[in-house]
A and B are shown apart, each in its own frame.
Chain A
Amino acid sequence: MTTQTKELISPVTQPTKRKSYWLEVAIVVGLALIVLLIIPPVLNSMGLGFRVNMLGRFMALAIVALGIDLIWGYTGLLSLGHGIFFALGGYAFAMYLELQLPDDQIPAFFGLYGVTDLPWLWRPFYSLPFTLGAIVLVPSIVAAVLGYLVFRNRIRGVYFAILTQAALIVFFNFFNGQQQLINGTNGLKTDTARIFGEFVSSPQIQSLFYSLTAVFLVLGYVLCRWLTSGRFGRLLVAIRDDESRVRFSGYDPTGFKVMVFAVSAGLAGIAGALYTVQSGIVSPRTMDIAFSIEMVIWVAVGGRATLIGAILGALLVNFAKSFLSEQFPDIWLFFQGALFLVVVTVLPGGIVGWIREDAREQLRQLFRIRPQIATYPSLEEDLDIRHEQQHISHQESDG
Chain B
Amino acid sequence: MSNNILAIKNLTVSFDGFKALNNLNFTLETGELRVIIGPNGAGKTTFLDIITGKVKPTQGQVRFKGRNLRSFSEHQISRMGIGRKFQTPRVYLKLTPRENLELSCNRNKGVFSTFLGNPDPSERRTIAGLLETVGLTVKADIAAGLLSHGEKQRLEIGMLVAQSPDLLLVDEPVAGLTDEETENVGNLLLALAADHSIIVIEHDMEFVRQIARQVTVLHQGSVLCEGTMDEVQNDPKVIEVYLGQPEEQAA
A interface residues (Cβ-Cβ under 8 A, vs B): 1-2, 5, 9, 13, 227, 230-232, 234-235, 237-238, 241-242, 244-245, 247-252, 255-256, 259, 383-384, 387
**Given A1-B137, A248-B84, A259-B111, A234 and B119 touching (CB < 8 A)?**
no
In the bound complex, residues from chain B placing their C-beta under 8 Å from that of A235 are: 103, 114
Q: How many Å lie between the Cα of A259 and that of B116 in the bound state? A: 13
User: Mind listing 13 A-B residue pairs with CB under 8 Å?
Assistant: A2-B129, A230-B118, A231-B117, A232-B114, A234-B103, A237-B95, A238-B92, A242-B92, A245-B92, A249-B103, A249-B159, A250-B79, A251-B109
Main SS of the interface on chain A?
Answer: helix
A1: nearest chain-B partner, CB-CB: B132
Task: Pick the most buried of A13, A251, A384: most chain B CB atoms within 10 A of its CB.
Answer: A251
Chain A residues within 8 Å of B86, by CB:
245
8 Å CB contact of B137 from A2, A234, A238, A251: A2
With A2-B128, A241-B92, A256-B111 known as contacts, the answer to whether A383 contacts B138 (CB < 8 A) is: yes
- Assembled-state Cα–Cα distance A248/B163 (Å): 10
Q: Are A234 and B52 in contact (CB under 8 A)?
A: no
**What 4 A-B pairs are tightest by C-beta distance, nearest first?**
A250-B78, A247-B74, A255-B111, A252-B75
A384 to B74, CA, bound (A): 37
Q: A231–B138 contact, CB under 8 A?
A: no
Q: Interface code B88-123, partner A: CB below 8 Å = 1, 0 otherwise?
A: 001011110001001110100111001101110000
A256 contact set on B, CB distance < 8 A: 111, 114
| Chain B residues packing against A (C-beta within 8 Å) | 52, 54, 73-75, 78-79, 83-84, 86, 90, 92-95, 99, 102-104, 106, 109-111, 114-115, 117-119, 128-129, 132, 137-139, 141-142, 159, 163
Q: In the assembled complex, how far is the CB of residue A46 from the closest CB belonging to chain B, in whole angstroms?
A: 45
Whether A247 contacts B92 by the Cβ 8 Å rule is: no
A384 to B142, CA, bound (A): 12
Would you call B129 and A238 a contact (CB within 8 A)?
no
- For A259, the chain B residues whose CB sits under 8 A away are 111, 115
Q: Hey, which chain A residues are within 8 Å of B54, CB to CB?
A: 244
Contact residues in A for B139 (Cβ distance below 8 Å): 383-384
Q: How many A-B residue pairs have CB under 8 A?
A: 87
A241-B114 contact in complex given A248-B78, A249-B159, C-beta closer than 8 Å: no
A255–B110 touching, CB < 8 Å: yes
Residues of B within 8 A of A237 (CB): 92, 94-95
Q: Which residue of A lies closest to B93 (CB)?
A: A241
CB distance A248 to B52 under 8 Å? yes
Q: Nearest chain-A residue to B142 (Cβ)?
A: A383
Name the B residues within 8 Å of A230 (CB-CB).
Answer: 115, 118
Q: Which residue of B lies closest to A234 (CB)?
A: B99
Q: Given the complex, which residues of B lie within 8 Å of A241, measured CB to CB? A: 92-94
Task: With A231-B118, A248-B74, A251-B109 as known contacts, state yes or no: A238 contacts B95, CB within 8 Å.
Answer: yes
